[in-house]
Amino acid sequence: MSEIPMSSVAVFSPQNRDWKSVVSESFRDLDALLEFCEIDGLRTEIQANQEFTFRVTRYFASLIEKGNALDPLLLQVLPDAYELQMVDGYSEDAVGDRLSMPLPGLIHKYHGRVLLTLTGACAIHCRYCFRRHYPYSESNTDYCVNSEVVKYLSRHTEVNEVILSGGDPLMLSDQKLANLVTSLNQVPHIRSLRIHSRVLSVLPERVTQGLINTLHQFRGRVVFVTHINHPKEISEPNQTAFHLLSQQGYRLFNQSVLLKRVNDSPQTLAELSNKLFESHIIPYYLHRLDKVQGAAHFDLTAEESCRIYKQLRNRLPGYLLPAMVEELPGRASKTPVLCD
């Protein structure tokens, strides 16, 4: 799609509301969410695990089917007593982040790219989060022009891409993102900025003219990776946001997590791929669950995962088929899940 000049784009902002104000109105109380969703009978069974806090945007909550305690969107954010069980084979650092952190908040696992955990804040707290135990308080990233992070990037000339993650990097203000962009622009071999964000789908108000202006300051290419697990998560408001980013020339990709009871059927995943494509997003990765303590109840066996994926492969053209992968500590890249 050809790029449209910024001046001609009417950036989406429902009711012209500031996105930070919208975040402040998120559900932080489980009972309030269940009342909003008209769901009774769950309070005693699953009263929230306070170790991993609870947050759901009102936009995401509006997509949950009223009265349906098994709604696949609700299940992604619903605290469960299973989170408190210790399960063999699951750890607090499921993907080896801490083993690959030469500086606080800078993760360097793979050749040619580094990842910055800019914040621990998220607009929504997914119960399967692989960084639910991540030491954010010990991993504050200093990214000013003379910071150790920028010095590290300057020394490592093989690094050509910086990935922004968290938490969610779009929970930072435009000014903080602009400061980071200014710093990255000082490193000539950084040619790509990749932004991994759940915010784009659960808080579409975040796509503002200010954000677009900030990203246009980066002298290289900007790529977005969304995180959408179910076709019900895509509706007109976030489709509008995706479309606006696409109009600006940004590439959008999606990575999903294969989750028990949420999207563990080829029909659901095929519908998701088609709906992503209609929303200007390329299906990119389908992750097997990272084996983090507290999320084992979302996991599927390798056999179940491959059965679903082989059926999905038969339903989709190649350009709509995400690669099924898993992230294993110590590996030099994502590991393809072979299902032949």
Residue ranges and CATH numbers for the domains of the chain are 8-336 (3.20.20.70)
Q: Taking 80 as the threshold, does the pLDDT of residue 149 lie above it?
A: yes
Q: Taking 90 as the threshold, does the pLDDT of residue 135 lie above it?
A: no
Using the structure block, give the residue that is written with the tokens 């009263």.
47
pLDDT in tens, 294-309: 999 999 999 999 999 9
Name residues whose C-beta falls within 8 Å of residue 287's C-beta, 6 or more positions apart in sequence: 255, 256, 257, 258, 324, 325, 326, 327
Output the average pLDDT for the chain: 90
Residue 46: what pLDDT?
62
Please state the pTM of the whole predicted model: 0.92
Residue 226 bridge partners (DSSP):
197, 254
Query: With bands split at pLDDT 50, 70 and 90, how would you rate the model's confidence at 5?
Result: very low
pLDDT in tens, 38-55: 998 775 456 555 667 899
Q: Taking 50 as the threshold, does the pLDDT of residue 14 lie above it?
A: no
Residue 184: what pLDDT?
97
What is the Cα–Cα distance from 128 to 259, expressed in whole angstroms? 9
Q: Taking 80 as the threshold, does the pLDDT of residue 6 lie above it?
A: no
DSSP 6: G
What is the Cα–Cα distance from 312 to 339, expressed in whole angstroms? 11
Q: Taking 50 as the threshold, does the pLDDT of residue 329 lie above it?
A: yes
More confident residue, 328 or 262: 262
pLDDT in tens, 205-221: 999 999 999 999 999 99
Q: Taking 50 as the threshold, does the pLDDT of residue 337 lie above it?
A: yes
- Reported residue count of the chain is 340
Integer CA distances (angstroms), 294 to 46, 51, 85, 298, 305, in order: 14, 10, 7, 9, 20
More confident residue, 186 or 53: 186
What is the Cα–Cα distance from 113 to 160, expressed in whole angstroms? 6
Q: Taking 70 as the threshold, does the pLDDT of residue 164 lie above it?
A: yes
pLDDT in tens, 71-128: 999 999 999 888 888 999 998 887 888 888 999 999 999 999 999 999 999 999 999 9
**Percent residues over pLDDT 70 in the chain:** 93
Please give the average per-residue pLDDT across 286-296, as a whole number. Answer: 93
Q: Taking 50 as the threshold, does the pLDDT of residue 3 lie above it?
A: no
Please say whether the beta carbons of 281 and 275 come within 8 A: no
- Where helices occur in 78-168 by DSSP H, the ranges are 148-155
pLDDT in tens, 17-35: 789 999 999 999 999 999 9
Q: CA Rg, the chain, in Å?
A: 20
For CA atoms 45, 50, 52, 58, give the dihedral sign.
positive
Query: With bands split at pLDDT 50, 70 and 90, how would you rate the model's confidence at 11?
Result: very low
Q: Taking 80 as the threshold, does the pLDDT of residue 12 lie above it?
A: no
Using the structure block, give the residue that is written with the tokens 């955990």.
117
Tokens, residue 296: 């084992």
Residue 47: what pLDDT?
58
Integer CA distances (angstroms), 297 to 162, 200, 318, in order: 33, 26, 31
In 200-330, DSSP assigns E strands to: 221-226, 251-257, 282-287, 323-326
What is the Cα–Cα distance from 96 to 227, expressed in whole angstroms? 21
Instruction: Classify residue 333 by burial, with Cβ atoms within 10 Å: 0-12, 13-18, 19+.
Output: exposed
Please give the average per-residue pLDDT across 128-154, as a whole number. Answer: 86
